[in-house]
Every structure is written in structure tokens, then in C-alpha cells.
Amino acid sequence: MGDGSLSQDEIDALLQGADDMLSGTARVPAGELAPAQAALSPVERESVADFLNSSMGSVMPALSGYLGKNIIIGNALVEVKSADQVRAEFPKQYVQITVNFSGGVNGRNVILLSMNDAGVISSLMMGDDSGAPPATLTEAHQSTLQEFVSQMMSTIATQLSNKIGKGVNTTAPDLKVVQGNIEVPGTPDVVKVTYNLTIQNLINSKMYQLMNIELAGEIARGAYVPQMQQPEYRPEPAQPRTTSQVGISPVRFPPLGEGMQSVPTGNINLLLDVPMTLTVELGRTRQLVKDILGLGEGSIIELDKLAGEPVDLLVNGKLIARGEVVVIDENFGVRVTDIVSPAERIAKIQS
């Protein structure tokens, strides 16, 4: 208006814009990702990302043990896209592993790994420290990848179950090698999660997780914990000072020599009847999974000790002595030849 005042329509438009800013979600014209934004709000996407990062942080130590290498999976980026958009983003060949949730939460998860990353992971799990990808993913390599993803999905299911207070079950992983025809768990929109995947100096790549909108919404609701409202601080009214009527005298401490005599608290006699497991170890060795699966009657396993070397005596898995094998009335026995020093025993316990 020419006089500088606002019309009622202009006031309504300004109020509508303020409502949009307070809700945290900008209004989008029809046909421009409106369904996707309506399906999962920014706050919900952030809740899903935080939950998945926490779950991956819990499972990483176990995965590192499987691989024999440190693995880092994190910085989850949660996006809502149409099914067609997601299919267009993965035209190359990928390993696709599908795991479904059921019970307290129902939904489908699809993990996508590049062929190189899948090959490195499967080789490490098969015992190849070099991590060289195999020429082809054999059935054994595929089984290790299924176990790898099963650990991740089981951890997510357990964490989610603890959040919502209901049991969440997982199906056995289903693995396929696909190219340009990935499985999209849901239409018209799907949730795409992009992780940073790092395995020491072997992999610095991305791993992807796809899930249907309903499952992401369940995770968001289960993971979101609203902040407790802090009570308003109200200072106590000042009390008027009154003259003191209580007698004040200095504190008196007894002389140091008058305290109770210290009494030793340890009593080894209390531990004499505690049972412990004594193990005699002839030797050890390390083998690949394929070698262990190939063991049969008559197989010979070479240990890391030479003939005639003393055997180790372990108590609850800790080395305490060494000895030589003897035969007593047709039974094996051990004659102790060396006791491990206390310092060495403490070092073994601390290691």
C-alpha cells in the first residue's frame, strides 16, 4: 500500500512465514520434493543419523576383530529421495545385502558395498592380511560378507529394541551382486544413508544403507529423547540476620597417636578353597578359516614349539610355570622345572 501500512493479506503471509521458520521446515512448492520432506522432518533425519552412528560405534570393535584391522564406520548422512533417484545413483556393480526387521519394528534394510570394498572385506575375514580382492566372490567370500553385515544389523536391532522396549528380530542376510538394478526398499520415497568407510590403509570409501520410510520413522521416534525442561530458578528470599545465640568453640582433634591401630585386612586363608583351572599348553598355531574347515581324521597340525621344549602351565589362562611331560601309571603328568617370577606374572596379568 502507498501509505506504508500492510494489508490483511500481507500480514497473513508474514505470519505464515514465521510459522514455517518456527517449525524448522521450509514450505516447498508442490512437486519439488514435498512428499519426501513431509515423510521425514530434518529433526527426525538427525535423530536417525545419531542413532546409526551410535550403533556403528558399538559394533566397530567386533568388526575390527573379524578383520584383523581397525575399521571406522561413521558420519552417517541421512537423505530422503525418490526410488527412481536412488536407482539412478547406483549404475555400477555393487554387492547388495538385504536384512529385514520384524517384531517390535518392521522394515527392510539394504546394504550396498562397491565390488572392491566387498572384496577387501571378504579377503580380510578369510585371513588374508593383505586384503587383496579376489578375482571372483566365491561362496565362502559371500558367507563372510553376510556375517559382516549380520553383525551390523543385529547391533542396530538390539540398540533399537532397547530404545523402544520391544524385541526386534533380524532375518538371515540375502546377498546379490547387482548392476544398475538395485533393490529399493519402498516407494515412492526411500531413505538413503551414506557412511564413511575406512579400513586402515586399505579402504577409504563409502558404504550405503537403504531403508523404507516407515522403518526410518520408527527409528526416529525410538531414538528421539526430548530434553528435560529445566525448572525455573527462583532464589530463596533473604532471611533477616539475627544475633547469634549459639556458643562457638574451636574444633579439637585427638593426637595422632591415639587413633586405632591399623589391622591388615588381607587373609589368604579365605582364598584357599577357591577353585581355579590349571591348563597345560603344549603349543599354539594360527590357521586360516579354509585350513580349519579342511581338517579331518589324520590331519597333522604343526605347533609353534620344538620337540623337547618345556610346556606351559596356565592358571585361568595366565602363565605361572613351565615343565616337562612325564607318564605316571599310564597317565600324563607334568614335572615343574621353572616357576615364573612374580614380576613376570604381574606383567602377564596386566597384558
Asked whether residue 26 is domain-assigned, the answer is yes
Least confident of 15-19, 28-32, 46-50: 28-32
Domain limit, last residue, from 223, 239, 258: 223
Check whether residue 27 and residue 89 sit in a common domain.
Answer: yes
Same domain, 151 and 37: yes
Would residue 148 count as lying in a domain? yes
Query: What is the C-alpha to C-alpha distance for residues 266 and 270, in angstroms, rounded to an integer?
Result: 9
34 and 104 in a common domain? yes
Q: Are residues 311 and 216 in the same domain?
A: no
Is 132 within the bounds of a domain?
yes
Residue 173 pLDDT exceeds 50: yes
* pTM, rounded to two decimals: 0.56
Mean pLDDT calculated for residue range 98-117: 93
Residues 73, 149: one domain? yes
More reliable by pLDDT, 242 or 211: 211
Residues 127 and 57 in one domain: yes
Q: Is 174 helix (H, G, I), strand (E, B) or coil?
A: strand
* Domain co-membership, 29 together with 133: yes
Is residue 229 one of the residues assigned to a domain? no
Per-residue pLDDT at 1 exceeds 80: no
Same domain as 131, residue 46: yes
Whether residue 44 sits in one domain with residue 127: yes
Cβ-contact 115, 133 below 8 angstroms: yes
Residue 237 in domain = no
Question: Per the domain annotation, does 262 fall within a domain?
Answer: no
- pLDDT tens for 135-160 read 999 999 999 999 999 999 999 999 88
- In one letter, which amino acid is 294? G
Look at the chain and report how many structural domains it folds into.
2
Q: Would 36 be classed as within a structural domain?
A: yes
Domain with residue 341: its CATH number is 2.30.330.10
Query: Which of 181, 197, 223 marks a domain boundary?
Result: 223
Q: Does residue 19 carry a pLDDT above 90?
A: no
Domain that holds residue 350: 277-295+303-351
| pLDDT, averaged across the chain | 79
130 domain residue, yes or no: yes
Helices (H), the chain: 8-23, 34-39, 42-67, 83-88, 115-125, 139-164, 213-223, 289-293, 342-350
